[in-house]
Amino acid sequence: MSLVKLTIDGNKVEVPAGTTIYKAAKQLDIDIPILCYMDLKDLNIENKPGGCRICSVEVEGRRNLAPSCSTAVAEDMLVRTNSMRVINARRTVMELILSDHPKDCLSCAKAGNCDLQDMAVLLGIREIPGQEYAEMSTYRLDTSPSIIRDLDKCIMCRRCETMCNDFQTVGALHAVNRGFEAVVAPAFEMNLEHSPCTYCGQCVAVCPTGALTEVDHTGKVIAALNDPTKTVVVQTAPAVRAALGEEFGMEPGTRVTGQMVTALKQLGFDYVFDTDFAADLTIMEEGTELLGRLKRHLEGDESVQLPILTSCCPGWVNFFEYNYPDLKDVPSTARSPQQMFGAIAKTYFADKIEVDRKDMVVISIMPCLAKKYECQRDEFSVDGNPDVDFSISTRELAHLIKQANMDLNKLEEDDFDAPLGESSGAAVIFGATGGVIEAATRTAYELQTGKTLEKVDFKQLRGMEGIRSATVDFDGLDINIGIAHGLGNARKLLDEVKAGKSKYHAIEVMACPGGCIGGGGQPLHHGDASILKARTKAIYKEDEGKTIRKSHENPYILKLYDEFLGEPLSEKAHELLHTHYFDKRKKIFQV
């Protein structure tokens, strides 16, 4: 690639042709402020509408200022990023953006974590001229089971739109209206509930302001903990422990499993359990289902649905219910670990401790916003009593811990309670893309071949590529595995399945980039994709450190089957651990 020489603020730099001014400046350690621009490098997601104009710079010979995020360098270009003209323009534009933004920062869900606020601080904005008479654009507040849209706070950066359309291909959010009324919304400005939104929460994960936030259940948690009539049980998903530390200033990738357990116990939860336990259970059910389908397939049964698709990810489940309802028999019927946990907690465990399910509150801590919706699904409740009462995100847990005057950094480590707190390494890696299928492979291999798996690490299933595929040798039987993270990638694999051209026996899909570690409920990455990689590493590290690394070797799982469920896919297992899917196409745009 040819190189281009240019000068930025008096410093010479040489970069490949096609590089943007913003990136060229970065090489010189010149940080041009950006607001709407977002580059998640490893995920091939780049949001560059050139809309906020905060990154404008002066290019000699050019009539107007150039947006550095989207202007390519040219030979001998002379760029000024800090001239009076640039600084004045940047401030003026920032003042304009703020003039149409609510000033309730003190009570905003994004307070202290807001890119817009940071920019106002960086640019030293002290006053917004004419604010007293400036009209603001206002919109209806939209509350869904998972996500709140407060579009008064939208600055039209379009990041959510990029995630929703380009990355997820969900198409729930798009710019509507024009001029001052322009805003990002579902078609016809319907509420999210009447859009094809999957509640994956990736819009929330990238929103630079408080326009898109999660539904906050921390108040409900505190109320439950303070209700003496309730036995409060908490489960924590694997990806939470790999990210929670970030909220307390720890390096991305710091595992805080033990400290998290301590914090939860100190918060007053009666039982601190691990969703990983249910992940092991998922593998037992889903793995058995896979082997069953495989067996029938090998015996020549043409009615059997292959590939089997994983069903742990609620965003993904919503996605195929909206977009591929005709394929709703293809995914595994296994419930997600969150729901399996809830079902077991309110039956097996409730019986054990002799508590009526109505007096038990099951709370899940999830990296995910779609989980909030999932636990509200009608099919996951008994007589109106949900298996999982409500789900809070990693971010909400951090708030809870901080409100309880605890610093995660200072806490001792503790262990999960038994019996629903024990898990294998296979369950931990559920949190990363490829993890579920790797866990399933570890178990399915041994159940299918009857041999012991010596090398449990299937490195070929790991990585950040959007779509990955690998063939695993099941003692002479080649099993083709496909993995997709991001619903746009999943769509590609689904289209193959729909066309009858899929070569896979099993496909794992996670809605979020990097899997659950990149979930919509995780600490905000602020556009830094390297954080996701660090979390992934932490997940695999925890797996390595476990003595039990295969789900079917978890003694508490074996005990559960022995005492309660019988065997995988038994009638009881079907009743508690499996589900069915719906055609949700008709739901869209109906009020």
Partner 1 sequence: MSKYSKNINKKQIRIALRNCGIIDPEIIEEYIARDGYHALGEVLTRQTPEETIELMKASGLRGRGGAGFPAGLKWDFARKNEADQKYVVCNADEGDPGAFMDRSILEGDPHSVLEAMAIVGRCIGSDMGYIYIRAEYPLAIARLKIAIEQAREYGLLGKDILGSGFNFDIDLKYGAGAFVCGEETALIHSMEGERGEPTLKPPFPAESGYMGKPTNVNNVETLANVPVIILKGAEWFSSIGTESSKGTKVFALAGKINNVGLIEVPMGTTLREVIFEIGGGIKDGKKFKAAQTGGPSGGCLTEKHLDTPIDYENLVANGSMMGSGGMIVMDEDDCMVSIARFYLDFTVEESCGKCAPCRIGNKRLHELLQRICEGKGEESDLVRLRNLGEVIKDTSLCGLGQSSPNPVLSTMDNFPEEYLSHVVDKKCTSGVCTDLLEYFIVEENCIGCTACARACPVGCISGERKEPHLINPDTCIKCGACMEKCKFDAVILK
Residue 84 near partner 1 by CB under 8 A: no
Query: Locate tokens 């024009």: which residue?
Result: 178
Please choose, from the candidates 48, 67, 72, the residue with its C-alpha nearest in 3D space to the C-alpha of residue 57: 67
In the chain, the largest separation of any two C-alpha atoms, in whole Å, equals 80
Active-site residue, selected from the candidate residues 285, 374, 508, 542: 374
Please choose, from the candidates 556, 298, 295, 297, the residue with its C-alpha nearest in 3D space to the C-alpha of residue 418: 556
Contacting range for partner 1; rule: CB under 8 A; set: 48-56, 300-308, 323-331, 458-466: 48-56
Contacting range for partner 1; rule: CB under 8 A; set: 3-11, 173-181, 286-294, 334-342: 173-181
- Quick one: 81 or 236, whose CB is closer to partner 1? 81
- Quick one: 97 or 429, whose CB is closer to partner 1? 97
Active-site residue, selected from the candidate residues 251, 379, 567, 575: 379
The pairing of strands 77-80 and 142-143 is unpaired
- Quick one: 76 or 583, whose CB is closer to partner 1? 76
Contacting range for partner 1; rule: CB under 8 A; set: 180-188, 288-296, 484-492, 579-587: 180-188
Active-site residue flag, 5? no
Q: Which of left, alpha, beta for 171 (phi over 0: left; psi -120 to 50: alpha)?
A: left
Active-site residue, selected from the candidate residues 371, 372, 550, 584: 371
Active-site residue flag, 289? yes
Tokens of 588: 């869209």
Cα gap 496→70, rounded to integer Å: 35
Adjacency order of strands within the sheet including 147-149: 142-143, 147-149, 212-214
Active-site residue, selected from the candidate residues 516, 542, 550, 584: 516
**Is there a contact between 388 and 342 (Cβ–Cβ < 8 Å)?**
yes
Residue 92 near partner 1 by CB under 8 A: yes
Residue 4 near partner 1 by CB under 8 A: no
Shortest spacing between CB 34 and partner 1, in angstroms: 13
Active-site residue flag, 105? no
Taking the alpha carbons of 162, 164, 170, 175 in that order, is the dihedral positive or negative? negative
Binding mask 109-148 for partner 1 (x = CB under 8 A): --------------------xx--xxx-------------
Residue 182 near partner 1 by CB under 8 A: yes
Adjacency order of strands within the sheet including 360-366: 271-274, 231-236, 360-366, 390-393
Residue 50 near partner 1 by CB under 8 A: yes
Interface with partner 1: number of residues (CB under 8 A): 38
Cα gap 584→401, rounded to integer Å: 37
Active-site residue flag, 193? no
Q: Tell me if the bond preceding 419 is cis, omega within 30° of 0.
A: yes
Residue 53 near partner 1 by CB under 8 A: yes
Active-site residue, selected from the candidate residues 311, 332, 336, 391: 332
Active-site residue, selected from the candidate residues 52, 312, 368, 512: 312
* Exposed/middle/buried for residue 140 (C-beta within 10 Å: 0-12, 13-18, 19+): exposed
Active-site residue flag, 200? no
Active-site residue flag, 137? no
Contacting range for partner 1; rule: CB under 8 A; set: 44-52, 301-309, 326-334, 540-548: 44-52
- Quick one: 208 or 521, whose CB is closer to partner 1? 208
- Quick one: 182 or 382, whose CB is closer to partner 1? 182
Active-site residue, selected from the candidate residues 58, 193, 247, 289: 289
Tokens of 339: 């729901």
Helix, strand, coil shares of the chain, percent, nearest 5, are: 45, 15, 40
Shortest spacing between CB 528 and partner 1, in angstroms: 24
Cα gap 353→351, rounded to integer Å: 6
Residue 155 near partner 1 by CB under 8 A: yes
- Quick one: 101 or 377, whose CB is closer to partner 1? 101
Contacting range for partner 1; rule: CB under 8 A; set: 64-72, 337-345, 380-388, 428-436: 64-72
Distance of CA 341 to the CA centre of its chain: 20
Residue 313 near partner 1 by CB under 8 A: no
- Quick one: 195 or 423, whose CB is closer to partner 1? 195
Residue 175 near partner 1 by CB under 8 A: yes
Shortest spacing between CB 203 and partner 1, in angstroms: 17
Q: What residues between 468 and 487 interact with partner 1 by CB under 8 A?
A: none
Cα gap 368→510, rounded to integer Å: 11
Active-site residue flag, 379? yes
Q: Which residues contact 257 (CB under 8 A, 6 or more apart)?
A: 241, 413, 542
Cα gap 338→380, rounded to integer Å: 11
Cα gap 179→477, rounded to integer Å: 60
**Is there a contact between 57 and 31 (Cβ–Cβ < 8 Å)?**
no
Binding mask 420-459 for partner 1 (x = CB under 8 A): ----------------------------------------
Residue 83 near partner 1 by CB under 8 A: no
**Is there a contact between 235 and 361 (Cβ–Cβ < 8 Å)?**
no
Cα gap 65→471, rounded to integer Å: 53
Beta bridge partners of residue 148, listed in sequence order: 143, 213
What's the N-to-C CA distance of the chain in angstroms? 54
Active-site residue, selected from the candidate residues 247, 286, 321, 446: 286
- Quick one: 100 or 396, whose CB is closer to partner 1? 100
Contacting range for partner 1; rule: CB under 8 A; set: 96-104, 109-117, 377-385, 391-399: 96-104
Query: Locate tokens 């010479």: which residue?
Result: 12
Cα gap 43→529, rounded to integer Å: 8
Residue 524 near partner 1 by CB under 8 A: no
Cα gap 346→416, rounded to integer Å: 18
Active-site residue flag, 374? yes
Residues annotated as catalytic are: 286, 289, 312, 332, 371, 374, 379, 516
Query: Which residues of the shown chain bind partner 1 in the complex (CB under 8 A)?
Result: 49-54, 56, 64-65, 67, 70-72, 85, 88-89, 92-93, 96-97, 99-100, 129-130, 133-135, 155-156, 174-175, 177-183
